[in-house]
Amino acid sequence: MFNALVLNKEEDQKATGEIQEIDISQLPEGDVLVKVDYSTINYKDSLAITSSSPIIKSFPMVPGIDFAGTVEESSNNNFKTGDKVILNGFGVGEKYWGGLSQKARVNGDWLVHMPKEFTSKQAMAIGTAGYTAMLCIMALENNGITPDKGEILVTGATGGVGSVAISLLSKLGYNICASSGREEHSEYLKSLGASNIINRNELSEKGRPLNKERWAGAIDSVGSHTLANICASLKYGGTVAACGLAQGFDLPSTVMPFILRGVTLAGVDSVYCPLKDRITAWDRLASDLNMDQLNEMISTIPLSEVVDSTHNMLSGKTHGRIIVDVNS
Ligand code: NDP
Q: Which amino acid is at 5?
A: L
pLDDT tens digits, one per residue of 27-86: 999 999 999 999 999 999 999 999 999 999 899 999 999 999 999 999 999 999 999 999
- What is the DSSP-derived secondary structure letter of residue 185? G
| Residue 109 near ligand 1, beta carbon < 6 Å | no
pLDDT for the residue numbered 14: 83
**Confidence class for position 15, pLDDT limits 50, 70, 90:** confident
| Residue 221 near ligand 1, beta carbon < 6 Å | yes
CA-nearest residue for atom 30, ligand 1, is 244
Contact (Cβ atoms closer than 8 angstroms) between residue 232 and residue 207: yes
The angle that helices 120-142 and 275-288 make with each other, rounded to 10 degrees, is 110
CA-nearest residue for atom 20, ligand 1, is 247
Choosing from 134, 168, 222, 299 the residue with most ligand 1 atoms within 8 A of its CB, the one to mutate for a pocket test is: 222
pTM of the model: 0.98
Contact (Cβ atoms closer than 8 angstroms) between residue 126 and residue 164: yes
First to last CA, the chain: 15
How far is it, in rounded angstroms, from Cα 285 to Cα 157? 18
pLDDT tens digits, one per residue of 175-205: 999 999 999 999 999 999 999 999 999 999 9
Residues in the chain: 328
How far is it, in rounded angstroms, from Cα 139 to Cα 144? 9
Rg, the chain, Cα only: 20
pLDDT for the residue numbered 13: 82
pLDDT for the residue numbered 12: 77
Distance 212 CA to ligand 1 centre (A): 26
Contact (Cβ atoms closer than 8 angstroms) between residue 287 and residue 93: no
- What is the DSSP-derived secondary structure letter of residue 22? E
Strand partners, 69: 36, 85
Q: CATH number of the domain at 2-114+297-325, out of 3.90.180.10, 3.40.50.800, 3.40.718.10, 3.40.50.300?
A: 3.90.180.10
| Statement: 128-267 belongs to CATH 3.40.50.300 | no
| Residue 271 near ligand 1, beta carbon < 6 Å | yes
| Residue 270 near ligand 1, beta carbon < 6 Å | yes
How far is it, in rounded angstroms, from Cα 86 to Cα 245? 25
Domain ranges of the chain: 2-114+297-325, 128-267
pLDDT tens digits, one per residue of 209-250: 999 999 999 999 999 999 999 999 999 999 999 999 999 999
How far is it, in rounded angstroms, from Cα 111 to Cα 204? 37
pLDDT tens digits, one per residue of 248-295: 999 999 999 999 999 999 999 999 999 999 999 999 999 999 999 999
* Three-class DSSP category at 266: strand
pLDDT tens digits, one per residue of 103-130: 999 999 999 999 999 999 999 999 999 9
